[in-house]
Chain A
Amino acid sequence: METITIDPITRLEGHGKISIFLDTKGDVANAYLQIPELRGFERFSQGRRAEDMPQITSRICGVCPVAHHFASTKALDAAFNVDPPSAAKKLRELMYCGYYIYDHILHFYYLGGPDFVVGPDAPAAKRNILGVIEKAGVEIGKEVIKHRAYGQKITAILGGKATHPVCGLPGGVSKGLNKDEVKNIETMGKSCVEFAKFSLKLFDDIVLKNKDYVDLILSDPYTLKTYNMGLVDKNNKVNFYDGKIRVTDQKGGEHIKFDGKDYFKIIDEHVEEWSYIKFTYLKDIGWKGFKDGKDSGIYRVGPLGRLNAAEGMATTLADKEYKRFFETLGGKAVNSTLAFHWARLIELLYATERVMELIKDPEITSTKIRNPVGEPGEGIGVTEAARGTLIHHYKLDKDGLIDKANLIVATTNNAGAINMSVRNAAQGIIKKGKVNDGLLNMVEMAFRAYDPCFACATHTLPGGMPLEVNIYDENKRLYKKLRRNL
C-alpha cells in the first residue's frame, strides 16, 4: 500500500497533515486529515475563576477569539443563572457581526477565493491574494483591506481589543456605546453593505458565469450528502449568536431542533486511533464510518451547514441571495462542498445588514447592559463561529471556580465531513498511482472550503505555500517526496 502525505497544509497555518492510502491498483482506498489537538485544556482550566474563561478561551484561537469569547460568556450566563439585558445581547451580537465581516472577507479574498479568481490550475505562486489583486486590480485590493479593517474596528470598539475581547461578563457586557461610536460604526457598516454586495457580484461574474467553475462546484468529488447543522432564530432564519440548533437532512427537511444545553443528548463523539480529534456525529443515526447519506450520523457545520439548516436569512438582501443560491444549485439541500464559498459571501452580506439594523436600534446606546449574577452551577453556551457551531460547557464549584470544562469546536464538528471530502477529491484525481502537483491543490480545495481551524498556536508558515507530499510504497517505505516552498 502506498501512502501520500501532504504536510503542512497550504495557507492554513497549522500542523494539519493529510495521508492518502492507495490500494494495490494505485487508486485511492482512503484518506485522512490528521489534526493535532492542543492537550490539557481541561486540566488547565480546573480551579480557575469562571469569569476569567472568556479571556482564557479567546486565546485558544487567534482566528475565532470573538466566537470563543461569547460562547464562553454565554456558558457563564447559564452557569450563574442570569439572563443579560436585551441591550447587552444586542451589543454582543453587533460585535459578533464585526467578527464575521473581517473573518469572511479574509477567507474569501485571501484563502478560498484565489482558487476561483485566479483559477484552480494557476501556478501556486499566483494562487494567493497577490494574484487576486493582479487579476482584480489594485483598487479592489484597497477595498478588501479597508473593509476587513472595518470589521476589525467594529469588533475593537465593542470588545476593547479586536484580538483579545474583554467585554463579555456573565450577565452582560462591560462597556456600552456612545453616540460618536455609533456614528462611526454606522459609517463603516454602510460601506461594508456595499462591499458585500460587490463581493457577491464579483462571485457572480467570475464564478457563476463560468461554466467550468459551476461544473466543478457541482462535480461528484466535491459533493457530500451529509446532515447539516446550525443555529436558527425562532423563524428558522440563520443566526450567529443565539437561537436553537437545527439539524436538517440531505433533502433539507428538519431532522431535529434542540436547545444547546441538550447537545450531549444529540451529539456523540467517535474516536479513531490515528487522530486526537474526536469525530462528532448524530447519536440517533449513529456512527457508520466515513460515509455520507441518511444512514450516517455525520453532519456539516459552517456557512454551507448553516444555510442548509435554516429556512432563510433574517435580512432582506441576504435572504434574496439565499433564495438565489438554492435556485441556482438545484434546491435543498446544497451538498456541494465548494458552495461553502458562496454561502460565506451571503453570510457576509447578512452580517453587514445586521450591523446596520443593530446600530440603528435606539436601545444600542442603553446603559443597562448588565444584570446581577446568581449562584454558580453548570452552564452551556453555543454560538456559531465563522467556521461552524461552537459549544462551551462548564461545571462550576460552589465558589465559582471551574470544576470541569468541555469544548466542542467547529472544526471538530466538521472533522468527519472534511475527511470524506479529502478522500473523494483524491479519488477523483489519483488514478493508478499517478500523482501530479495539480492534485495537491484539488485536494486542498476540498478542505479549504471548510476554512478549518487547526489547533491554534501551531506554527510557522513560510512566505509562500508550504506543501509536502510523501508517497510510500506498499510496505510503507518512503519512495518519493514532493516539496514546495519548504
Chain B
Amino acid sequence: MKTIILGVGNSILSDDGVGIHVANQLKQKINNPNITIDEALTGGMNLLDLLLGYDKAIIIDAVKIDNGEEGEVKRISLSKFSTMHSCNPHDVSLIEAIQMAEKLGETRIPKEIIVIGITMKKLPCEFGENLSEKIAMAVPKAVEITLNEIKK
C-alpha cells in the first residue's frame, strides 16, 4: 500500500505553515519506501494532482475555527470536512476536484483521504517564518497522530 503524507500551507505566513513544520518533523521519523512525505502550497486541482496514484493520503493543514481551542489537533475524514485550506483564490476545492475527477473516470484517487487539522482562529496570518507558541505546541501532537495513522 502506498501512502502520501502532505504538509499543506504557506511557510512564509507563520501559523499557516504549520502543516509544513509537521511534515518536516515526520521526514526525520519515517523511513519507509511505501510512504512519501511532501509539502504543498496549494489546494484544489493542484493538490489532487499530488495525491493521484496513492492508496491513502494524509493531509496535514491549518484549520480555521470560530469557536473552541486553538492548537488542537483533529483527525477528520475528507467526507466530513466542510472547509478545505487552499491558498489558491481561484481554484476549486479539493472535494469539488475529486468529484470532477471521479465523473471523468479517474481511477487513481486514493481510497482513503484523511485530514489532520491544527485548529486556529486567526487567518490569514501575517508574514513570518515562525509559529506562535500555541500552534508550535501542537506540532508534536500532530506528528504523533500522523504516526498512529500510518500504523493502522
Contacts and interface: CB of A to CB of B under 8 A. Distances in A.
Contacts of B40: 163
A63 B46 contact: no
B89 A459 contact: no
19 contacts: A13-B90, A38-B126, A56-B12, A59-B10, A61-B87, A62-B41, A62-B43, A106-B90, A129-B100, A142-B105, A452-B89, A456-B88, A457-B124, A458-B89, A460-B64, A460-B123, A461-B83, A463-B93, A463-B99
A261 interface: no
Interface in A44-63: 44, 56, 59-63
Given A13-B86, A62-B87, A62-B88, A459 B96 contact: no
B45 interface: yes
4 nearest CB pairs, A to B:
A62-B87, A44-B127, A460-B83, A463-B95
A107 B89 CA distance: 11
A63 B82 contact: no
A39 B90 contact: no
B104 interface: yes
Nearest to A453: B89
A207 interface: no
Contacts of A130: 96, 99-100, 103
Interface string B18-46: 00000000000000000000001111011
B96 A463 contact: yes
Interface in A455-472: 455-463
Nearest to A138: B104
A7 interface: no
Interface string B108-152: 000000000000000111111000000000000000000000000
Given A59-B12, A130-B99, A457-B87, 9 more contacts: A11-B92, A44-B127, A63-B89, A111-B90, A129-B96, A133-B104, A141-B100, A462-B83, A463-B82
Contacts of A455: 124
Nearest to B79: A463
A258 interface: no
Contacts of B86: 13, 62, 459-461
Q: Give the secondary structure class of A's interface.
A: loop
Contacts of B64: 459-460
Contact of A461 (B10, B11, B84, B126): B84
Contact of B127 (A15, A40, A164, A463): A40
Query: For this complex, into which size category does the number of interface residues on chain B fall?
Result: 35 or more
A388 interface: no
A455 B88 CA distance: 9
| Max chain B C-beta neighbours (<10 A), residue from A63, A107, A111, A162 | A63
Query: For this complex, into which size category does the number of interface residues on chain A fall?
Result: 35 or more
A93 interface: no
A44 B11 contact: no
B90 A107 contact: yes
A196 interface: no
A138 B103 contact: yes
B89 to A, nearest CB: 4
| Max chain A C-beta neighbours (<10 A), residue from B96, B101, B105, B125 | B96
B91 interface: yes
A40 B126 contact: yes
A14 B44 CA distance: 14
Contacts of A138: 103-105
A39 B126 contact: yes
| Max chain A C-beta neighbours (<10 A), residue from B89, B92, B104 | B89
Given A141-B103, A164-B41, A456 B95 contact: no
Contacts of A452: 89
A13 B123 CA distance: 13
Given A128-B96, A129-B96, A129-B100, A451 B90 contact: yes
Contacts of A198: none
Interface string A132-158: 010000100110010011001000000
B130 to A, nearest CB: 11
A155 to B, nearest CB: 11
A456 B87 contact: yes
A458 B124 contact: yes
Interface string A106-127: 1100110000000000000000
A12 B93 CA distance: 10
Contacts of A164: 41
Interface in B45-96: 45-46, 49, 62, 64, 82-93, 95-96
A60 B87 CA distance: 9
B85 A459 contact: yes
Contact of A458 (B100, B105, B123): B123
B88 A63 contact: yes
A400 interface: no
B148 to A, nearest CB: 26
A454 interface: yes
B49 to A, nearest CB: 8
